[in-house]
Structure 1
Amino acid sequence: MEVVEIRFGIFYEHQLPRPWDQGEEHRLYKDALEQVEIADRVGFDYVWEVEHHFLEEYSHSSAPEVFLAAASQRTKRIRLGHGIVQLPPNVNHPARVAERIATLDLVSDGRVDLGTGESSSSAELGGFGVRRADKRSQWEDAIDAVTRMFVEEPFAGWESRYVQMPPRNVIPKPLQKPHPPLWVACSRRETIHFAARNGIGALSFSFVEPEDAARWTGEYYRIIESDECVPAGFAVNPNVTVVLPMMLHEDEETAIDRGIDGAHFFGFALAHYYGTTPHDPGRTNVWEEFQERRAARGFDRDQIIANAEALNVNVGSLRGAVGTPDQVADLVRRYETAGVDQVVFVLQAGPNKHEHICESIELFGTSVLPRFTEGREEREAAKAERLAPAIEAALARRAPARKVPPGYRIDEDAELVRARRVRRGGRPAGLRPALSLVRDEARSTARRRVQQGLFRLLDGRSDAEIERRFGPRAQRVFFAGMARQYDPSAAGGFAGELEFRLSRADGRTTVWTVRIANGRARARMGEAREPALTIGTGTADFLRTLAGTTNPASLLMDGKLKLRGDIELAPKISEMFGGPSPY
């Protein structure tokens, strides 16, 4: 793997665990702005700010453009990254995205990076009425429209299933030409491929080890340089970023004491909102649940001890970059060798203290960052020169900017009539589309019932109790239901057999096979003939993993989860069979 230049960023969810005192949110934002000022001064390259809605405690960051605008006036050089803007039109109309991004680019003197995504949490999708099955196609539709709004003058209009807009000159235009660099949120291998096919940067939130990241970056750049790459925008942004929790101190044990609870809360709260855990708005206390259940869900504080020779991102529990400057520098070097272009650190997480975050940022600037700056510009230039022919060829495959028909004039009455006609045409008409909608809604309702039932089965019960309730008869019903919930759109074209080997405390093992072919899944008891992937684990751990209440990485590290075959299939199994995945 070619060693590339590496950049550094800090990442904000604006986490605020309960209890909340008066003024806590105000202090949270003011502290974050002070931290960004320090990061700018010591040499960090990016600040990334997420957009989330309704995810109390996990993310109080619903208007990143406002925070980044404030940061732009308190900094001089750090780039301002949306990580991410949610593009489904029910959340953000494409014209409003284009206007806000261009304005921020102007007031920041051209320092904006536009990260985009779809969201995947039930709280957000349901809150804005976005159907899970449509969110990817909505992203593809919206990113095309937004980038055209940046470059077309005037914008030539839009008619799609999701957005209808007549020609308008969308102003202002961004300072960066043709537009700010584009990124997309990624949580698994298929979305890394998706980013490369669209010629945009990959923001990876999967806490992947450096050695695994090497495979991802290799595949990403192979696609960037192939005919598969058809840019979503009017420029190509070939970059791969990984996100990690971080806390830095010269003494390893102090770094752990200051930062590991924040790292673990970040992972726990992520699983809370993107798994099947019930949530009552305004009443569920995620921080209390974390304190009570962290160890059982794969975030065991006792698993993280000092005196590590080298940092592994996941070792028993999520650790990330919590350690000494030498340990973190070694971890970054491994990512650099793996071809990763940017490492972004989450410091503001859980109960992490403002003063400790500021100390960590300062220490990184003096003790880690200087080790990676020598020769950076030369390596960046060499990378740009190497990719230039492929980028030129990719942009030639992108449909060009359009022109408004000659003589077009704004006519409110005619445009409203046309919009109504397009909306009628975009709605399902006739029996088959209507049945499709009914089927999708029925599937969604069934999925919620299965998830609620699964949570009730597991909540507060021991392994032995779960095994008694989930014997062969219950397993037959479960795997049949799992096959019915199969979603071909989440399978990435996979066809073959998945084998599940579920063990019990008494030594018995039950084997099930799910066969996927022709867009359908069928389950049967017994071994697979040619399994693409075999998953071996305890019955209780299997159910907790599907429910999102146990961290599979921790099971893998502890030897409680064994994978044989194509292990790249493992992370997407939950989503293939009706469950959500992060971002």
Structure 2
Amino acid sequence: MRFSIFYEHQVPRPWEADGEHRLLQEALEQVELADRLGFDTVWAAEHHFLEEHSHSSAPGVFLAAASQRTTTIRLGFGTVPLAPGYQHPARVAEAAATLDLLSDGRVELGTGETSSGAELAGFGVDRETQTAQWSEAIEIVARMMVETPFAGADTDHIKMPPRNVVPKPLQKPHPPLWVACPRQETIRRAAEKGLGALSFAFVEPEDVRSWVDEYYTIISSDRCVPAGFAVNPNFAAALPMMVHADEAEAIERGIDGAHFLGYALGHYNAFGEHAPGRTSIWEEFQARRDDVGFARSAISADGAPLSVKVLQRGLGSVRGAIGTPAQLRELIGRYEDAGVDELLFCLQTGKTQHKHIMEALELFAAEVMPAFAQRRPARARDKAERLGDAAERALERRAPRRTVARGYAFKAGDSGVDAAAVAIPEEPAAPSARRAPGAAVTSLRRQLETHGERAFQAFVGRSDDARLARTAGSGAGLRVIFGAMERQFVPERAAGFTGDIQYNLRAVDGSVRAWTVAIDRERARARPGAADDAELTITLAVADFIRIAGRDLDPVKAVLTGRMELAGDFGVALKLGEMFGQPGGF
């Protein structure tokens, strides 16, 4: 179990002249203390225009200041909204890498979406497509941190030509990647993309167990295809926290802040109406808290085990980790049993006093943290056994980093519109026998879908025969190529021909793999295996077949030099090029 602190940088009204200045200076003092006490990470949110709730609009600046006043605590962006309307992915990659260098490799990069209209409308981000925007951006940010140069992007929401995004991070291949998970649906998405899950839902440990189990089940399954170039299998949950030897005093010091945190979230994301510069959320909170599940009177010092949600005398409320050291140990033990890897404690909330936060950090480190530190090695071993080689297998399903086609360059006088170069899958320097075909074929499929024939031609042109046979010549690779032939078939150019064409493809070991393309008056259909009665049989090495498909080998020259053999109707052979969308010849 890891223990971290989380900041929204809340400043409830009425505001004092130096309120924001004092808030940030005190937060840095708290981070310094947390570093000395052995807390694992400081997480800083990124929000915009959310008065009182979050004055943390530039977390990278805050974390950079913290990096120079600390030595071991990790520095978490918690989280960066990735829709391009907020900021270009290159700016995210640059900021994360710069902080990673400044901090000697201590960055955790949390990403996510937002649900408040204040931010979405403020930046012109479409609510309906922001999930798709995030999904595109997280993969592009990861590529920017590992590709030299970044090979460009041409997606629905992000278009960028090749550029070398610098600096590169100190951590290789890049800092651990996370995503904010307010719902179970986003937890599933985190697991499917090999990302750490940051749950901000304030959920009971008994309820979170099923979420954690499903998360790790997906991580270990074929559904996990990493967005980055490393898997970050970790589940973190956030909780309000305040600890004191006297339970009543802990409640007095921390409960109003915890409730204001929840109320402010609801104000901006669920039930509030806000007049910028005029609405006082703190005043509304005091008047309405009982009505929306933050009843102060429902919280009492009774020595009972802690819970997140409270119902007492018909009133609902929220509590979390607010109590004595013994109560916190019991509650945290239940989260540990549920499989949670990290708890993010929200202490700087509402009008909670700085001195009380400092005292709580000291007491937690002295009387709560040691019990869990002793169990860390055993938990790490159990987790490693549970995961096995899941991360390695997941990375085999991920497309490799890309490179730029030969000859691409931009000129000093170019305009703001730069022609996109073709991004080509880059094979790892020493691929495992299992990884190379699957990863490269996945990348090849994506290239054909994204850039079409240009990408395939570039891939073929820079590959030797061994690589072509190993990747595009694998069973999966041939399905991609023959599938492209099906799509490129032009019935009008077949001149009435119907029948089967059989391809006998020789592998490096001398074996022959047969494929049949069946042509009728409307379409071409490809399948593995020999034809019953082929009109034309074409025999050649699998690498030569790929080179012809990629226009890197002239088919007539291949026949004349003996690299390709034809048997059957030569007239059909002469029409093949036109049938499949090429300018004449076979």
The reply to whether TM is greater than 0.5 is: yes
Distance apart, 1:23 and its partner CA: 0.7
Match of 1:58 among 36, 53, 61: 53
For 1:304-343, list aligned pairs within 5 A.
304-316=299-311, 317-343=317-343
**Which amino acid in the other structure matches residue 139 of structure 1?**
W
How many Å separate the matches in 2 of 1:420 and 1:170? 16
Conserved 8 A contact 1:310-1:331: yes
Q: Name the structure 2 match of 1:411.
A: 411
Match of 2:292 among 277, 297, 317: 297
Unpaired runs of 5+ residues, structure 1, are 1-5, 423-583
Conserved 8 A contact 1:166-1:415: no
Distance apart, 1:90 and its partner CA: 1.0
Q: Name the structure 1 match of 2:224.
A: 229
| In the alignment, structure 1 residue 267 sits paired with structure 2 residue 243 | no
Deviations 1:499-554 (A, max 9, x none): xxxxxxxxxxxxxxxxxxxxxxxxxxxxxxxxxxxxxxxxxxxxxxxxxxxxxxxx
SS of the residue corresponding to residue 322 of structure 1 reads strand
Distance apart, 1:385 and its partner CA: 4.9
For 1:20-39, list aligned pairs within 5 A.
20-39=15-34
Conserved 8 A contact 1:197-1:224: yes
SS of the residue corresponding to residue 258 of structure 1 reads helix
Q: Name the structure 2 match of 1:438.
A: none
Conserved 8 A contact 1:165-1:419: no
How many Å separate the matches in 1 of 2:385 and 2:173? 19
**Which amino acid in the other structure matches residue 9 of structure 2?**
H
Deviations 1:214-267 (A, max 9, x none): 110000000000000010100000011110001110000000001000011001
Unpaired runs of 5+ residues, structure 2, are 312-316, 423-586
Q: Name the structure 1 match of 2:365.
A: 365
Q: 1:388 to 1:409 in 2, by over 3 A?
A: farther
Distance apart, 1:161 and its partner CA: 2.2
**Which amino acid in the other structure matches residue 117 of structure 1?**
G
Q: Name the structure 2 match of 1:219.
A: 214
Deviations 1:48-99 (A, max 9, x none): 1000000000000000000000111111111111110110111111001000
Conserved 8 A contact 1:164-1:419: no
**Which amino acid in the other structure matches residue 370 of structure 2?**
P
**Which amino acid in the other structure matches residue 194 of structure 2?**
G
TM-score, normalized by length of structure 1?
0.70
For 1:495-514, list aligned pairs within 5 A.
none
Distance apart, 1:418 and its partner CA: 4.4
For 1:194-209, list aligned pairs within 5 A.
194-209=189-204
State which structure, 1 or 2, has the greater radius of gyration over its C-alpha atoms. 2
How many Å separate the matches in 2 of 1:161 and 1:189? 26
Percent same amino acid at aligned positions?
A: 62
TM-score, normalized by length of structure 2?
0.70
SS of the residue corresponding to residue 244 of structure 1 reads strand
Q: Name the structure 2 match of 1:559.
A: none
**Which amino acid in the other structure matches residue 115 of structure 1?**
G
How many Å separate the matches in 2 of 1:180 and 1:252? 39
**Which amino acid in the other structure matches residue 408 of structure 2?**
Y
How many Å separate the matches in 2 of 1:409 and 1:98? 22
For 1:408-447, list aligned pairs within 5 A.
408-411=408-411, 416-418=416-418
How many Å separate the matches in 2 of 1:416 and 1:256? 57
Distance apart, 1:296 and its partner CA: 1.3
Match of 1:89 among 70, 84, 105: 84
How many Å separate the matches in 1 of 2:393 and 2:330? 37
Conserved 8 A contact 1:241-1:344: yes
Deviations 1:377-406 (A, max 9, x none): 343244235424111110011111001111
Size of the aligned set, in residue pairs, is 417
Q: 1:306 to 1:33 in 2, by over 3 A?
A: same
How many Å separate the matches in 2 of 1:375 and 1:421? 52
How many Å separate the matches in 2 of 1:262 and 1:354? 12
RMSD of aligned residue pairs (Cα, Å): 1.6
Q: Name the structure 1 match of 2:551.
A: none
How many Å separate the matches in 1 of 2:419 and 2:163? 14
Distance apart, 1:187 and its partner CA: 1.0
Distance apart, 1:287 and its partner CA: 0.3
How many Å separate the matches in 1 of 2:212 and 2:246? 33
Conserved 8 A contact 1:182-1:233: yes
